[in-house]
Amino acid sequence: MRDTVTEPGVSGVGLLNKALQVLDQFTPENPVWTQAELGRATGVSKSTINRLVRYFCTEGYLIQNEIKGPYQLGPAAVDLGLRASAQFDIGTMARPLLEQLAGDTGETALLAAYRPRRREAVYVVQIPGPGEGLRVFQSVGSSISLYAGAVAKAILAYLPDEVQNEIVQGPLEKLTDNTITDPAILTHDLAEARARGYAISREETYTGVYGIGVPVFGPGGTVVAGIAIAAPTFRMDSATMLEHAQKVMAAAETISARLGDTGGSR
């Protein structure tokens, strides 16, 4: 039987919550933490942080590469993540909602997952729309840069400032005549996307294609993917765009909730 972490006044569900708070701080953007930093970020007391960190190190969920040095996720945490990934497929979960979205809008619906280490997104699901004029246009499994296109910008708009700034500063390759390659204009466009809740692409990646993209969030409000519809520009007048945007946002909200997002302020 594994040892347990105990401390007067901190036990049961309360202690488990504090333990998860600690582990949640270790992200691709912030992979290394000291005990003091963990305490400030979580509000957990110094003594409890110390006990939890020691326990996680013993069990292999954290490692300390040098004496009195900072901590990072260990092999047990990596193994847990791999097992979770093997059992959970965001594409499988989201597919029925994307099929409904394609049916409701008459346009192609797609989902792209964010890959933090590569600073890119990967198409996971694509449902051809029943309407004429545009069907499948991008192969599942292909990667996309985050600065152009509705689904890409929906993800980029909600990434941490330092990551977003790094991507916006380029280099930004021009994919079509309408691709935004000016960092100042792209920054403004991303701010507008956040303000209204969805990103718009007017022929930024493919000539004749109009896209509406919305971010998908996981636990803690971290953006993990984006969904979008893609339609021929001739079918996307202002009224239709606004109507479709509401449907894309509703589908993204449902997917996020199923992933554990609580819809807190962002």
Distance of alpha carbon 12 from alpha carbon 251, whole angstroms: 36
Is pLDDT at 193 greater than 90 in this prediction?
A: yes
Indicate if 59 and 127 belong to the same structural domain. no
Structurally, the chain folds into a number of domains equal to: 2
Q: Residue 248's domain spans which residues? A: 88-259
Domain-located, residue 119: yes
Of 65 and 224, which is predicted with more confidence?
Answer: 224
Distance of alpha carbon 156 from alpha carbon 215, whole angstroms: 9
pLDDT one-digit tens code per residue, 93-150: 899 999 999 999 999 999 999 888 778 888 888 998 876 655 545 677 778 889 999 9
Distance of alpha carbon 6 from alpha carbon 67, whole angstroms: 24
Last residue of a domain, one of 83, 102, 123: 83
Q: What is the mean pLDDT of residues 54-76?
A: 88
What's the CA angle centered on 239, arms 236 and 244, to 5 degrees? 65
Distance of alpha carbon 248 from alpha carbon 213, whole angstroms: 7
Indicate if 138 and 48 belong to the same structural domain. no
Q: The domain spanning residue 24 has which CATH number? A: 1.10.10.10
Domain-located, residue 7: no
Q: What is the mean pLDDT of residues 26-43?
A: 90
Indicate if 131 and 168 belong to the same structural domain. yes
**Mean of pLDDT over the chain:** 86
HSE of 122 in the Cβ direction (CA atoms, 13 Å)? Answer: 9
Domain-located, residue 222: yes
Indicate if 151 and 40 belong to the same structural domain. no
Domain-located, residue 6: no
Last residue of a domain, one of 43, 65, 83: 83
Indicate if 71 and 93 belong to the same structural domain. no
Distance of alpha carbon 193 from alpha carbon 30, whole angstroms: 25
Domain-located, residue 169: yes
Of 203 and 84, which is predicted with more confidence?
Answer: 203
Q: Which amino acid is at 156?
A: L
Indicate if 74 and 134 belong to the same structural domain. no
Cβ pair 123, 94 in contact under 8 A: no
Indicate if 113 and 237 belong to the same structural domain. yes
Domain-located, residue 266: no
Closest by CA position to 122, among listed 96, 100, 89: 89
CB neighbours (10 Å) of residue 215? Answer: 29
Distance of alpha carbon 125 from alpha carbon 99, whole angstroms: 10
Indicate if 139 and 196 belong to the same structural domain. yes
pLDDT of the residue at 8: 43
Is pLDDT at 3 greater than 60 in this prediction?
A: no
pLDDT of the residue at 135: 53
Q: The domain spanning residue 162 has which CATH number? A: 3.30.450.40
Is pLDDT at 84 greater than 70 in this prediction?
A: no
Indicate if 128 and 220 belong to the same structural domain. yes
Indicate if 76 and 164 belong to the same structural domain. no
Last residue of a domain, one of 41, 58, 83: 83
pLDDT of the residue at 80: 76
Cβ pair 176, 228 in contact under 8 A: no
Of 28 and 226, which is predicted with more confidence?
Answer: 226
Cβ pair 179, 189 in contact under 8 A: no
Token code pair at residue 8? 């007067």
Domain-located, residue 4: no
| pTM, to two decimals | 0.67
% of the chain at pLDDT higher than 70: 88
SS (H, E, C) the chain: CCCCCCECCECHHHHHHHHHHHHHCCCCCCCCECHHHHHHHHCCCHHHHHHHHHHHHHHCCEEECCCCCCEEECHHHHHHHHHHHHHCCHHHHHHHHHHHHHHHHCCEEEEEEEEHHHCEEEEEEEECCCCCCCCCCCCCCCEECCCCCHHHHHHHCCCCHHHHHHHHCCCCCCCCCCCCCCHHHHHHHHHHHHHHCCEEEECCCCCCEEEEEEEEECHHHCEEEEEEEEEEHHHCCHHHHHHHHHHHHHHHHHHHHHHCCCCCCC
pLDDT of the residue at 30: 85
